[in-house]
Amino acid sequence: MLPANEILLLPLLPVILFVHGRRAFRREYLWFYVLALAWLFGTIVGDLYLGSESARSMKGIARVLFFILDFIVLTIVINKDGRRTIIFLLSIFVQMALIIQYFRGDFLTQWKFGGSSIVTITALLISCYYYSRRRYWVYFLIVLGLAVLNLIFAFRSQIATDFVSAALILPIFDQSKTVGRRAPQIKNFLKIALLLALAGGAAFGADRAIKFAAGKGLFDENVTQKFETQENGRFGVLVGGRPETLVAIQAIRDSPIIGHGSFAVDPKYLALKQQLQYEYGYSDTDMPEDSEEPTIPTHSHLTMAWVESGIFGGIFWIFVLGLTFRGLIKISLTRPPLAPIYSYLLLNFVWNVLYSPFGSVNRMWAAFFILLSYNLLEPRTRQTSLARQDKDLIPVRRPVMRARVGLVG
C-alpha cells in the first residue's frame, strides 16, 4: 500500500532537497542512513539470491525505500520545530479518525484501531499544560482515566503503555539539586535503575488490573474466554496475544543471514504457528488455517525485517530500539514541557517495533518517531529552539518581579 502522501512525496522531494537539503543529511543521522541502506541492500541481494517473484521483490524494496524517503522529508519539513512536531502529531489523530470508519458496528475494534489513540492524544496534549505547570496530580488523574477506559474496552497493551509512560516521567528527580557527592554518571545510573524499576512495577500493576477485571466479569464472554486461554498458555498473555513471535524467531533461526525474501510465502510456517499454539495451550486444534497467501507470520517491525531481508534488517531495528530507549531515558531525566505526550508516543513506538506490522502509514509514523528521538537526544545547547517552542505551545506562569521604590533624600 502506498498512502497518498507518499505518492505526493515524489514530485515534492527534489524541490525541498534543493531548498533545505542540508537539514536531512546532518552528521547525527549518519548511522540511520548507513543501517537503512544496509537493510535495503540486504533486501535486494536476498531477493536476487532466493529468486523471489518480481512483484514481491518490488514491494519489499519499495517499502524500505519509501521509509527512507519519509524520514528525509520529515527531517526537512519538521526539522526541529516544536509546532510542526505537534501538527504532524495531529495528523495521526486525523488518520485514526478515518481508520475507525472501516469498523462501524464493532465498537471494541474501533477503540483498538483508532478510538483509543484519538482520545489518548487529545487527553495527553491537554495534560501537558498541567504537567508543565507542575500540577502533576491532574496529569496522573488523566492517565488513570485513560487506563480505566482501555480496561473497560479490553485494550490490554494500552493499559500498560498508559501506566509505564506515566511512571517514566514521575517528578521524582529535582534537576536543580544534586544527590550527595556522587559523580553525575553514578547519579544518572541510579536514576535510570529506579525508573526501570518503576516501569516494571507499572507494567505488573496493569497486568493485575486486567486479571482483576476479567475475574469480576467486566468483559463479555468472548473477551473473557480469550484472556483466560492466553493466560493459561505456557508463556502467558504476551506470547498468547502475539503467537507470530515464536514462528518468526524460528524463521530467523532457519535463515539468519540472507532471510527468506520479501513477503516470503511458506505454508510450513503457518502450520508451525498453529502447532505451537496447540502445543503451548493457546488453541484447541493443530490444524492450520487455509490461506491463499501463506506469508510467513511476523507481526513486528523487527522480525519482519529480519525474516524477509536477513541480518541487516534486524540490525537496523535493533539500532532504532536503542535510539528510542535513549530518547525515553532523556525524557525521564529532563522532563520537557511535552513529556507526557513524548513519553507515550515513544513507548508506544517500542511496542510497535516489537509487536506490530510495518507498512502503509506506519512507515511515516515510524520515521517521525525516529526523528523525535533524535531531536530529544540533542545536547541542550542545540535543543533551545525546540524547548522554547514547547514552552510557547504550553503557557507557563512566570513569577512577577516587583521592584522596590525608594526615595533619595
| Across 24-38, average pLDDT | 95
Q: Comparing 341 with 108, which gets the higher pLDDT?
A: 341
Classify the C-alpha dihedral 245-247-252-258 as positive or negative: negative
Residue positions counted in the chain: 409
Crossing angle for the helix pair 361-377 and 82-99, nearest 10 degrees?
A: 150
State the cell numbers at 210.
486486567
Closest CA to 28 of 387, 383, 364, 385: 383
Would you say 60 and 261 are in contact if contact means Cβ atoms under 8 Å apart?
yes
- Give tens-digit pLDDT for 348-373: 999 999 988 898 888 999 999 999 99
pLDDT on residue 365: 93
In whole angstroms, what is the distance from residue 65 CA to residue 75 CA?
Answer: 16
Looking at 253-257, 291-295, 405-409, which range is the least confident one? Answer: 405-409
> What counts of helices (H) and strands (E) characterise the chain?
18, 0
- Give tens-digit pLDDT for 191-206: 677 777 877 777 777 7
pLDDT on residue 315: 97
Q: Using 50, 70 and 90 to split pLDDT, how confident is the model at 299?
A: confident
- Give tens-digit pLDDT for 36-52: 999 999 999 999 999 99
| Across 397-407, average pLDDT | 43
In the chain, the percentage of residues whose pLDDT exceeds 70 is 78
pTM: 0.85
List Cα–Cα distances, 176 to 51, 173, 187, 198, 271, in angstroms. Answer: 60, 9, 13, 22, 58
pLDDT on residue 236: 59
Q: Comparing 238 with 146, which gets the higher pLDDT?
A: 146
SS3 295: strand
- Give tens-digit pLDDT for 161-181: 888 888 888 887 555 444 444
Q: Using 50, 70 and 90 to split pLDDT, how confident is the model at 246?
A: confident
Would you say 397 and 363 are in contact if contact means Cβ atoms under 8 Å apart?
no
In whole angstroms, what is the distance from residue 223 CA to residue 154 CA?
Answer: 8
pLDDT on residue 323: 97
Does the structure show a pLDDT above 70 at 382? no
Buried b (16+ CB within 10 A) or exposed e, 106-121: eebebbbbbbbbbbbb
pLDDT on residue 403: 41
pLDDT on residue 178: 42
Q: Comparing 275 with 42, which gets the higher pLDDT?
A: 42
CA 391 centroid distance within chain = 24
Q: Using 50, 70 and 90 to split pLDDT, how confident is the model at 92?
A: confident
CA angle 246, 252, 258 (to 5 degrees): 165
pLDDT on residue 231: 64
In whole angstroms, what is the distance from residue 346 CA to residue 124 CA?
Answer: 13
In the chain, the percentage of residues whose pLDDT exceeds 90 is 44
| Across 84-90, average pLDDT | 90
Does the structure show a pLDDT above 60 at 407? no
Does the structure show a pLDDT above 70 at 188? no
Burial of residue 405 (CB within 10 Å: 0-12, 13-18, 19+) is exposed
Choose from 65-79, 102-116, 217-231 the range with maximum mean pLDDT.
65-79
Q: Using 50, 70 and 90 to split pLDDT, how confident is the model at 380?
A: low
Looking at residue 80, its amino acid is: K
In whole angstroms, what is the distance from residue 321 CA to residue 299 CA?
Answer: 16
Q: What average pLDDT is seen over the chain? A: 82
Does the structure show a pLDDT above 90 at 309? yes
| Across 285-291, average pLDDT | 69
